[in-house]
Structure 1
Amino acid sequence: MVDAQRRPQILEHLNKSLTVTIHATRWIPGTARFVAVGTYPRSTGCLQIYELSEAELRASAERERPDGFKCATLGASPSSSSQLATGSFSGRLQVWDLERGAAGAPLFDAQAHASIVNAADGFGGRAVGYGPPEIATAGRDGAVRVWDVRQADAPVAAFEPADGDSVRDCWAVAIGNSFNDEERCVLAGYDNGDIKLFDLRANKARRRMTRAWRAHDAHAFAVVRWETNVKNGVCGLQFDRPDISMNKFTASCLESQLHVFDARTQHPQHGFAGLTEKLARGTTVWGAAHLPQNRDVLAAHTGGGEVALYRYRYPDQRRVKDQDGCEMGVAGSLEALSHASLSSQPVNSFDWSPDRLGLFVCSAFDQCLRVGIVTKLEKI
C-alpha cells in the first residue's frame, strides 16, 4: 500500500472551453503539443493542434474537414515526422501531415468501413526492427482491418463476421506483441462483451501474398488466438506496451468494469488469467491508459467525469502448472491510488505524455479540453 504522503494526486493544470465536440486527444511525441479531433455542430470534422504554455493552451492550427472524426492515433507515425491517422463517422481512414498543420490533402485516404470507424490503433512507424507501420481499425460494421499505409488503399488483413453471423458493433481495437519483425497481434472488443485476439504471426506469408490475397480470400490468415466474453460492452483496449512480448492488457467496459489480463502465459483451455475491478463510483469505463514511463500504472477515465489511478501488482508466481502439467497464468491485483472528478460529463478521451512523467490531456462531453498532472509518480 502507498502511504498518504506518497499517494499521487491528480491535478488539473489548464482547461479550455470549446464550441466543438472532441472525441480523441493525442500528444505529439517530442513536443509540448497535442492534437484534438472531433466534430463541429454542423457535423463536419475538426482537427486542432494545441501548444502547451505555462498560462494557457494556444491553438497553433485548426482545420475543418468534410467528415466528422471519431478516433485518432499517432502510433504508426514515422520518427522523421508527425503523421496522424484519423477514423471518421463516414468510415474513412485518413493520414494527415501534422508538420503542415494537416493542411492540404491527406497522405492516405481509404474507405475503411461501411460506417463509423469506432477506434484505431497503430504501431511500427517509430521503431526499427519491429515490423512495418500498420494501423488497425474497428468499425460499426463489425469488421477489424489492418492497414499498411505505404501500400495501396486495401487492408493487408481483415477480420469480418462470417456470412450468416449476427453483426456485432466493434468498439475497440489495439495492436501489440510487436517485439520483432515476425510477431504482431490485434485485440478487438465488441458491444456484447466479446474480446478476440487475432494473431498476425504469419507476417512473412502475409507480406509475400498481399497482392494475391487481396484479389482472392481476405480471410486466409485470420487466426483467432484467444477469445472470451466479459459480459459488458468493451469500450477500450490497450496493451501495457505494444513493443514487447505480450505482458498484460486492459479492457474497459460498461457497468463500471475494468479487466486486466496477464498475457504472459496462455493455457490451452482457460486462456489468459485475469482480474476484474468494479469501480466504486458506478459508471461506464471509457478507457484505460498505461503510463508510458511505468506500465504498471494506469489511468481509467469514466462516464462520471472521473479519472481513477491504479497500480497493478504482480503475484509472487506469475505461472503455475495445472494437474495435467500445463502452465497457466496467475493474475495479480489492482491497487487504487487516487481519483479525481474533472467534469460533470463523461471523460471520453485521455492520453499520457510520452515525454514528461505524469502529464496528461483529456477531453469530455462538456466540450472542454483539460491538461493535468499526476504528482509523485516517481515514488510509485
Structure 2
Amino acid sequence: MKMSTPSEKPQIISHIHKSLNYTVFDSKWIPCSAKFVCMGNFARGTGVMQIYEVERGEVHLVKEIEKAKPIKCGTFGATSLQQRHIATGDFDGNLHIWNLEVPDVPVYSVKAHKEIVNCIDGVGGLGIGDGAPEIVTGSRDGTVKVWDPRQKDLPVANMEPVEGEARRDCWTVAFGHAFNDQDRCVCAGYDNGDIKLFDLRNMSLRWEKNIKNGVCCVEFDRKDISMNKLVATSLEGNFHVFDMRTQHPTKGFASVSEKAHKSTVWQVRHLPQNRDVFMTTGGAGNLHLWKYEYPAQRSRKDAEDVDMGVAGTLNLLQNITLSTQPIASLDWSPDKQGLCVCSAFDQAVRVLIVTKLNRV
C-alpha cells in the first residue's frame, strides 16, 4: 500500500451534519437533483423514508413518508432519469417501487422473500447498462432473486441453495457486466465469506470464492462495461479487489487484499466519474478513500501457458473519522464529482465534499 504526498492528497470535508430521530440503514442521491433520500425505521417499529434537499450549506426536509415495515435498502438503478422511482427492500421481505412524488401507494409491489431483504441493486435504468431494467434482491432466507418490474409476481431468476446445502444469509448483491443487451452478471456475498458470481445470460454459477469472513458489500467498478474489477469488503476489516478481466480455470481471478479498517468494512462505493477511485466505510465510524493502480501487465502465462490475471496495488488517498458508530451507507452524487452522502448508526446523515479528485 502506498500513501499520497500531502500536497496532492484529496481532502474529505464534512459539509453538513443532520441528526435524525430514527435508525437510518441506507441513503441515496436522487439522480439529477440536489436531493437525497434516507431510509430506515422508527423506534416504534415502522419504516420511514425522508427526502432532503441541499441548499446554501444546509439540508431541508422536503417530505417524510412512514410505512408499515422498516426499510433496509434502496436503489434507483432500474429507473429512468425521467421517472426516478426508488426500489426498496423491507424487513418483511417485500420489494416495493415508489414514485417519490406520490409515495402513498407503491407503483410495483411483490413479496420477494420469506425474510428480510438485506440488499438490493438495479441496472438498466438511468442510462447505465444495456438491456432490461432489472432489480436484484438478497435475503436472510438464502436466496438471490432478479426482478423485471414490467413482469408481476415472479422473479426472472432465482439463485437458491441446492437441496441439502445450508442456507446462508445473503448480505450483499451487485449487478455487473451489462455492456450489451444479452450479457449480465450478479455477484452475491454471504455471511460465511462466500462470494458467488452468477451469469444471468447462461443461468449458471460462473465463479465462487470464500474470503473466510462474512461479505458485507460487493461492487463492480462499473456496471456497464465488460467486467473489470470487483471489490468485496468483509466483517474483519479486510477488503479484496479482484481483477475480473482474466479468469484462470483453476485459480480464478487475481486479487489484492488490504486490512484497512480496524473493524467491519460495511460498504464500498466507486466514484462514478473515475472507476479506479473508491471509498470504504468502517465500523469505527471512519472513511477510507482509495485508488487502484494497475500493474504494467494485467495478465501473464502460467507454467501450462494458460492466461492468468495479475493484481495491481492500492493507494490510500485519504481517511477521516466521522462518528463513533458504524457508517452503514454511502452514496456518491452521480452528477457532481466529489459530493457524497453517508449515514451512520449514530442516527445522523452527513453530506461530504471530497476535493482534488481530478488530480488523482
1:308 aligns with 2:278: no
Amino acid at match of 2:345: F
Residue in 1 aligned with 2:19? 17
Cα deviation for residue 129 of structure 1 reads 7.3
Residue in 2 aligned with 1:216? none
Amino acid at match of 1:331: A
Moved over 2 A (4+): 126-129
Alignment of 1:133-172 (within 5 A): 133-172=133-172
| Cα distance in 2, alignment partners of residues 54 and 84 from structure 1 | 26
Q: Paired residue for 2:240, among 256, 259, 274?
A: 259
Cα deviation for residue 153 of structure 1 reads 1.6
SS in 2 for 1:98: coil
1:68 aligns with 2:70: yes
Residue in 2 aligned with 1:206? none
Residue in 1 aligned with 2:255? 274
Amino acid at match of 2:277: V
Change (3 A) 1:13 1:277: same
Residue in 1 aligned with 2:80? 78
Cα deviation for residue 128 of structure 1 reads 7.8
Cα deviation for residue 43 of structure 1 reads 1.2
Which shifted more, 1-10 or 322-331? Answer: 1-10
Query: CA RMSD of the aligned region, Å?
Result: 1.1
Change (3 A) 1:35 1:182: same
| Cα distance in 2, alignment partners of residues 62 and 239 from structure 1 | 32
Percent sequence identity over aligned pairs: 53
Alignment TM-score, normalising by the size of structure 2: 0.98
| Cα distance in 2, alignment partners of residues 128 and 325 from structure 1 | 37
| Cα distance in 2, alignment partners of residues 274 and 153 from structure 1 | 39
Residue in 2 aligned with 1:212? none
SS in 2 for 1:243: coil
| Cα distance in 1, alignment partners of residues 249 and 193 from structure 2 | 21
Cα deviation for residue 105 of structure 1 reads 0.9
Q: Paired residue for 2:226, among 228, 245, 256?
A: 245
SS in 2 for 1:340: strand
User: Could you report, residue by residue, the CA deviation over 1:111-168 in whole angstroms, capped at 9, with x for unpaired residues?
Assistant: 1111110000000023387010000000000000000011112100000011221111
| Cα distance in 2, alignment partners of residues 68 and 366 from structure 1 | 17
Change (3 A) 1:251 1:59: same
Q: Is contact 1:81-1:99 (8 Å) kept?
A: no
Residue in 2 aligned with 1:88? 90
| Cα distance in 1, alignment partners of residues 13 and 286 from structure 2 | 12
User: Could you report, residue by residue, the CA deviation over 1:164-215 in whole angstroms, capped at 9, with x for unpaired residues?
Assistant: 211110100000100000000000000000000000124xxxxxxxxxxxxx
SS in 1 for 2:73: strand
Residue in 2 aligned with 1:347? 327
SS in 2 for 1:5: helix
Change (3 A) 1:300 1:199: same
Q: Is contact 2:26-2:328 (8 Å) kept?
A: yes
User: Could you report, residue by residue, the CA deviation over 1:14-40 in whole angstroms, capped at 9, with x for unpaired residues?
Assistant: 011111111001111111011111001
Q: Is contact 1:258-1:277 (8 Å) kept?
A: yes
Q: Is contact 1:118-1:139 (8 Å) kept?
A: yes
| Cα distance in 2, alignment partners of residues 129 and 308 from structure 1 | 28
Q: Which runs of 5+ in 2 are unaligned?
A: none
Q: Which runs of 5+ in 1 are unaligned?
A: 203-220
Q: Is contact 2:15-2:57 (8 Å) kept?
A: no
Q: Is contact 1:311-1:335 (8 Å) kept?
A: yes
Amino acid at match of 2:359: K
Alignment TM-score, normalising by the size of structure 1: 0.93
User: Could you report, residue by residue, the CA deviation over 1:32-63 in whole angstroms, capped at 9, with x for unpaired residues?
Assistant: 01111100111111011110012311111110
Amino acid at match of 1:301: T
User: Could you report, residue by residue, the CA deviation over 1:318-360 in whole angstroms, capped at 9, with x for unpaired residues?
Assistant: 0111121211111101111110001110000000001111101
